[in-house]
Chain A
Amino acid sequence: MFGQHVKHELTAYAHGELSAPESSRVAAHLKACERCRREFAEITHAIRLAASLTLRSAPANLWDNIEAALAQASSEQQQTERAPQKTTTQEKTSRRATQEKTSRRSQPSGWQVGRLSDWFSGWRPALAASLILLVMLCAGGAWFYLRSTRTTWEVARLAGAPLIDAARITSTGRLGIGEWLETDANSRAQIKVANIGQVEVDPGTRIRLVETRLTEHRLELARGRMHATIYAPPRLFFVDTPSAVAADLGCAYTLEVDDGGRGLLHVTSGWVAFETHERESIVPAGASCITEPGAGPGTPFFADASQIFLDALSKFDFAGGGADSLRAILAEARQRDTLTLWHLLARVEGDERARVYERLAALAPPPAGVTRAGVLQLDDKMLANWKTDMEPTWLTESMPDMRRVWRKLWSDSSAPRLLKRAKDQLK
């Protein structure tokens, strides 16, 4: 009575999920089969470990963020309700059913998630009619107010005469979806980004509001320079440039785009992901990253690196520098430049990756659990652990005022010269 091995049923057996006859069969087999018993010991070992995981408390501030976002969503919903509604019969029936359940309840407070008609179900017609009239008047007013406030962002003039869709704004204006804000050589403006932060727009800039909704706020920077300060969860605010997207990970940063579509990102606080569909650069506070059309975001760097390092990196990223450039980068790298080397691991292959690993390991020995073989195979967990281990050396050193540096850089748009000028300014 040995029967078939039961290794596929062992977890369900341990969890008590088998029927009585199945469970008896597994139990009998385990008594007789040493191999399945060993297997079962393994499974119970895993079960005990997995069951030892403890529940973790969510951060305390989550509710505030959700509440703010919901309040905004509710406003947007009220606005859309003003538009003609196409309601299916099924929805109407279902809504009526809900009305029956809710009609005796007290009037809700807070967000208005249901539809207005729900609140009046069961009321006497005359009273309902007058209330509907009142609500329509209020809703009309609310619609007018919301239309002017919620899907547009407030723009404040800081200097000169900024334009919104070619119309000059006086002290304040509103930027709607699809509209361009333009500043000439003497103008500056500040945009309030929904309820999550602000963007300061420098002279000579052309910027458009692409999208603003609950889960995404997006600008397009066609040319010029902007300084963003965002207080929101990661990946809620994005800026499109011609060759990469800057995704906010909770931070402050400056982004500029020249007439050729090249972009320069400098992060002053937190982190920004500079990305395309093929490539992502994670840029911490104090670091910079250049992007070029056709190439996408280059490798992040600290502009106080050596001139040779910066020149070689520029060649490597945008001019097909190859092995020679890589050699110079590795030779010149300081401990802080491990930011650059860490990104390079995934951007080179074979022997070159091994050389990057060796140099990186010499500058920042990998922590326990991060192995050479794993890193060379781009094990994402090991790379993440190593990065976490190195981050303190990237973030602690103070940086000079890069905004001042950039004002000087703006006249020169080529990446290698940008790097050179950045370096000169730091001396």
Chain B
Amino acid sequence: MELRAVIDERPRADTRVVESCQQGDREAFRLLFETHKDKVYSIALYFFGGDEALAGDITQQVFLKLFTRISQFRHQSEFTTWLYRLTTNTCIDEQRKRRRFSPLPDTLAATGGAHNNSGAGVPAAEARFMRREMADSVRDAILTLKPKLRIAILLKYFEELSYEEIAAVLNCSKGTVASRLNRGHRILAQRLGHLRAGVLSGD
């Protein structure tokens, strides 16, 4: 309970909890997990197009790696940078593994008009249904992005990280992050053009 009270003062609180973890404090492990699990899970979920089982698996892998390597964490960087680097690497490794085993090639370009038939043809559906459709379309469009663009977008919107923080997680320059996000958004805009009316009315 004591730890629960300080967790909101991140990142300083993260540092304290990590130190407790490094001493083997079980409650601290649990707290760290509870604090970050939903974000890790959501990134993995959207990275893999809504595959809940896989996202759960990735989340588990991330925290297992995190906890078994926690003694190596030296506080030279933000804990969250380390956590989301682990998340990113685990997602990208899994993506590579899947591509290696899958006989199905990546055909990004072919999906451009995939939703032109589905969303626009529904005239007066309920607002909730429309929102659901929209969320599914956004999720699907994100899945069509190359992994490097995809992860930058997910880090931006789920972690609300600055470009500098994303650069630290991805181990690249701030300019590269800006470029990836710009490319990612332009592709999303192209693929989600049919949702323009939905977004406007949804607001």
Taking a contact as CB atoms under 8 Å apart, the answer to whether B22 and A113 are in contact is yes
- Encode A47-58 as 1/0 by CB contact (under 8 A) with B: 111111111111
Taking a contact as CB atoms under 8 Å apart, the answer to whether B33 and A63 are in contact is yes
Taking a contact as CB atoms under 8 Å apart, the answer to whether B102 and A374 are in contact is no
Query: Is B96 an interface position by the 8 A CB rule?
Result: no
- Encode A29-69 as 1/0 by CB contact (under 8 A) with B: 00000000001001101111111111111110011011001
A-B contact pairs, 24 of them (CB 8 A): A8-B182, A11-B182, A46-B185, A46-B186, A47-B185, A50-B157, A51-B157, A53-B46, A56-B38, A56-B45, A58-B40, A66-B67, A69-B64, A94-B74, A98-B22, A105-B23, A110-B29, A111-B29, A113-B22, A113-B67, A114-B71, A378-B107, A380-B107, A381-B111
Taking a contact as CB atoms under 8 Å apart, the answer to whether A374 and B110 are in contact is yes
Query: Is B147 an interface position by the 8 A CB rule?
Result: no
Contact flag A111-B181 (CB < 8 Å), given A66-B64, A275-B101, A280-B101: no
Query: Is B192 an interface position by the 8 A CB rule?
Result: yes
Taking a contact as CB atoms under 8 Å apart, the answer to whether A52 and B134 are in contact is yes
Query: Is B5 an interface position by the 8 A CB rule?
Result: no
Taking a contact as CB atoms under 8 Å apart, the answer to whether A113 and B21 are in contact is yes
Taking a contact as CB atoms under 8 Å apart, the answer to whether B103 and A280 are in contact is yes
- Residue with the greatest number of chain A CB neighbours at <10 A, chosen from B19, B179, B181: B181
Taking a contact as CB atoms under 8 Å apart, the answer to whether A50 and B142 are in contact is yes
Closest to A346 in B: B103
Taking a contact as CB atoms under 8 Å apart, the answer to whether A101 and B19 are in contact is yes
Q: Point out residues on B near A: beta carbons under 8 Å.
A: 19-27, 29-30, 33-34, 37-42, 45-46, 49, 52-57, 59-61, 63-64, 67-68, 70-71, 74, 100-107, 110-111, 114-115, 117-118, 134-135, 138-140, 142-144, 153, 156-158, 162-163, 178-179, 181-182, 185-186, 188-190, 192-193, 195-196, 199, 203
Leading 6 A-B pairs by shortest Cβ distance: A110-B26, A58-B41, A42-B189, A46-B188, A108-B24, A46-B189
Taking a contact as CB atoms under 8 Å apart, the answer to whether A377 and B192 are in contact is no
Taking a contact as CB atoms under 8 Å apart, the answer to whether A371 and B59 are in contact is no
Closest CB of chain A to B136's CB: distance in Å? 9
A235 to B163, CA, bound (A): 34
Contact flag A53-B158 (CB < 8 Å), given A46-B185, A66-B67, A73-B68: yes
Query: Is A80 an interface position by the 8 A CB rule?
Result: no
Taking a contact as CB atoms under 8 Å apart, the answer to whether A112 and B24 are in contact is yes
A273 to B33, CA, bound (A): 30
Closest to B131 in A: A52
Among A10, A59, A66, A112, the residue within 8 A (CB) of B33 is: A66
CB-CB under 8 A from B49, the residues of chain A are 381, 384
A383 to B61, CA, bound (A): 27
Other than the given A12-B182, A381-B111, 9 more pairs (CB < 8 A) read: A50-B138, A52-B138, A55-B42, A56-B41, A118-B23, A214-B68, A249-B53, A369-B115, A374-B111
Taking a contact as CB atoms under 8 Å apart, the answer to whether A49 and B42 are in contact is no
Contact flag A102-B19 (CB < 8 Å), given A55-B39, A215-B61: yes
Taking a contact as CB atoms under 8 Å apart, the answer to whether B56 and A49 are in contact is no
Closest to A105 in B: B23
CB-CB under 8 A from A8, the residues of chain B are 179, 182
CB-CB under 8 A from A374, the residues of chain B are 107, 110-111, 114
Contact flag A382-B111 (CB < 8 Å), given A113-B22, A369-B118: yes
Query: Is A234 an interface position by the 8 A CB rule?
Result: yes
Closest CB of chain A to B52's CB: distance in Å? 7
Query: Is A20 an interface position by the 8 A CB rule?
Result: no
Taking a contact as CB atoms under 8 Å apart, the answer to whether B64 and A280 are in contact is no
Taking a contact as CB atoms under 8 Å apart, the answer to whether B104 and A53 are in contact is no
Closest CB of chain B to A363's CB: distance in Å? 20
Query: Is A166 an interface position by the 8 A CB rule?
Result: no
A73 to B60, CA, bound (A): 14
CB-CB under 8 A from A56, the residues of chain B are 38, 41-42, 45
A235 to B98, CA, bound (A): 12
